[in-house]
Amino acid sequence: DTGVSQDPRHKITKRGQNVTFRCDPISEHNRLYWYRQTLGQGPEFLTYFQNEAQLEKSRLLSDRFSAERPKGSFSTLEIQRTEQGDSAMYLCASSLTGQGNYEQYFGPGTRLTVT
């Protein structure tokens, strides 16, 4: 078990460019979550997958954001036409359904800076 991994760890982009982040969950975990964390705040939920199905999206997830989990394993989060307000840490988490298994395990995050 190598934990949740995210790539890249840091991304600097110019306003208007598209960016894509990748998350690899813990291998046996069927649930995958994306959160966004800004300075001085706790993580805020963006979207959630169970296996390959995207089951829930936050109102924070504007039309410029899209997420996929094509084979129920890794996931990608794409931001189109980035804005300065998109600058944040993007966190991925995974969990396993089962009795008492409600905790989520987080990756190290991708820090996005939009200039």
Partner 1 sequence: AQSVAQPEDQVNVAEGNPLTVKCTYSVSGNPYLFWYVQYPNRGLQFLLKYITGDNLVKGSYGFEAEFNKSQTSFHLKKPSALVSDSALYFCAVRDYGGSQGNLIFGKGTKLSVKP
Q: Does 104 bind partner 1 (CB under 8 A)?
A: yes
3-state SS assignment for residue 86: helix
Q: Does 74 bind partner 1 (CB under 8 A)?
A: no
Q: Does 44 bind partner 1 (CB under 8 A)?
A: yes
Identify the residue among 55, 78, 81, 113 touching partner 1 (CB under 8 A). 55
The first and second tokens of residue 12, run together, are: 């600097």
* DSSP-assigned letter for residue 80: S
Determine the Cα–Cα distance for residues 94 and 33; give it in Å rounded to an integer. 6
Closer of 32 and 79 to partner 1 (Cβ): 32
Residue 85: burial class (beta carbons within 10 Å; 0-12, 13-18, 19+): exposed
Residues lying near partner 1 in the complex (CB under 8 A) are found at 4, 6, 31, 33, 40-45, 48, 50, 55-56, 91, 93, 100, 102-109
